[in-house]
Structure 1
């Protein structure tokens, strides 16, 4: 009866239907508190997330939630928001004690005390976007992601390639911006291209931030302006496209743009991007937790998993303008009003 009411598998469909009909007729609703007392479990998985509403985090959570719900678990979201200092983060993690059966942590660079607090919760822990020895994790190779994007632009003949990322104002010390910047620099170095600090701009991981960052790049003297931009997220790339359109800069004739994610809007904007499976990372991390909770993996036995990425070439990247092209020396113009 319990499995039928909780929607779990391994219950005959006819049996489930009869149980649900009887429960509905009697007005029966299972008590979560009573179930917790009987099983010693809360049937809840805690999710520590920097920003609940941002596209990437929301999609990771969606992937995890779908799998957890199918196994009868609810998610308890703990959005850190402005709680960026370590002391507050430690407190946030510690409050999950005895409230959850497992913890999922999204894209935080955890220090020693935070890892200790997580382990002291004595529940399965999985990470997305970072790795810690002894904890299960899932991530992409962010260095390679940036290399793939930058090498695509180099292969098209671009030599002045801007990086739009998130190193400045990174209060959470996310590992992703640092790794993608390192990949970008490595690709330039391997190609014998110099890294111009003026071409490294902060895009805020948002459309608005990307637009403002592109405005900065287009305000450079014509000879120093980039002919291509690697944006560390599709949302920043979308902002760059918006700025280019406002300034009358043609994409990809004047400017090539590549992002990361394969956001659902990327195809509609014909955006070249490095696709990463965002909801799938949430599902994989949730499966690591469920495997420990259900005894298929020993406690602390989950491993670090790296998921593959793929360059998706669309219409926002093309060959670099030739040196003789007058577009390289003219000032950018504002679109007519």
Structure 2
């Protein structure tokens, strides 16, 4: 019965972490310990990611520059623009606003994140898309996101919402502090991993399953810590059922809009075949939970829990909808996109 249900172990870990944080959050006296442990795990994760990523993959990603450019534009331009449009439509234009200011901060933060790697590649392969292009596009998106995401957060998120604990002034003291912490916890370990990759990269790539388990376990602990802080801060008492339902609806609009827009742009791009269009659609419409949780911790600190709520739900929605699309694409003939 369990085999037929095909429960995703990672999804199960996330559900356990969130449930544990809601019903048994870590006490205040252990919170500092968990915050330090989370920071160390974040640094370790990005060190390993840097060590595993080969320079050759980055070189290959530049060759099909139109595909790579479209994925990057989708992740870091079209996504924030669509999120901004939805914000003005559903929050600024109404008296009370849909989803509430705190959740909108998480939705806009989600729009600034890089593409996810694992699910983009898996679903592109399932849909008979260009897997090599998906690997390059998702890897390049994550590499660039280390620099671009905190800048976009300063432009898109902080000035609009004035989130408690964050400066509403673009490049203000709080933002500069967040970027320094972000660089220390994410960028520096990643670059150190790149340097060490020449010595340990091959060995790490041979143990993908073990590293994947450690990475997912680390993310689950980060989620537990972030949501524990949110629960201790009374986050669930601040959210109404209407706000939660509004958030879900907005996330579906965002995902549906990006899936449609990325495929339409791939359709219009000259010389782009169907397999490349699949890679563009799946890489350009996804957001990385594995990068988003550490980034939320580095940029927002105590606010990371509530800022991560939209990302957690979007992560599940994108896998579900894209899996349905991938199954549909497998039934189509391998033909180029006809103009």
- Per the normalisation by structure 2, the TM-score is 0.28
More RCO (CA 8 Å, sep 6+) = 2
- Name the structure where helix makes up a greater proportion of residues: 2
